[in-house]
Amino acid sequence: MNSCAMAVLEEFQDIVFSYGVSDEYRFQIHFSSKPKSKPKKEKTEEERKFRRRAKYFLVTQLVVVLVFLSLLGGLDDAEVELDDDDSLNYND
């Protein structure tokens, strides 16, 4: 593990102080240091197609929920009339 810590110290010049024992090491980095920017990865055609389909899927799901709620919201329990059939006698 010491050789790994030495490799980290050699690779990252912004490290000011490091300490540790066994497999636990701490590194103190200078406050003005900035992380290295990674180059942007170009998206493949498959990734672009997947994202486009995912957007359409989400929009479709939203439309379906809105239509369902509008149809469900149009029903009112007060408008539904129940037939009270007094001719049935359950005591027989």
Same domain for 2 and 29, yes or no, is: yes
pLDDT of 78 above 70: no
The closest alpha carbon to 15, from 38, 37, 39, 32, belongs to 32
**Residue 39 falls within a domain, yes or no?**
no
Q: Which domain holds residue 60?
A: 44-76
Same domain for 25 and 50, yes or no, is: no
pLDDT of 76 above 70: no
Judge if pTM exceeds 0.75.
Answer: no
Q: Look at residue 60 in the predicted model and tell me its pLDDT.
A: 94
Q: Look at residue 22 in the predicted model and tell me its pLDDT.
A: 65
Instruction: With beta carbons less than 8 A apart as the criterion, state whether 61 and 54 touch.
Output: no
Neighbouring-strand partners of residue 62: none
Same domain for 1 and 29, yes or no, is: yes
pLDDT 10s digits, 42-68: 889 999 999 999 999 999 999 999 998
Instruction: With beta carbons less than 8 A apart as the criterion, state whether 66 and 57 touch.
Output: no
92 vs 76: CA distance, rounded Å? 35
**Residue 38 falls within a domain, yes or no?**
no
Residue 72: pLDDT band with limits 50, 70, 90: confident
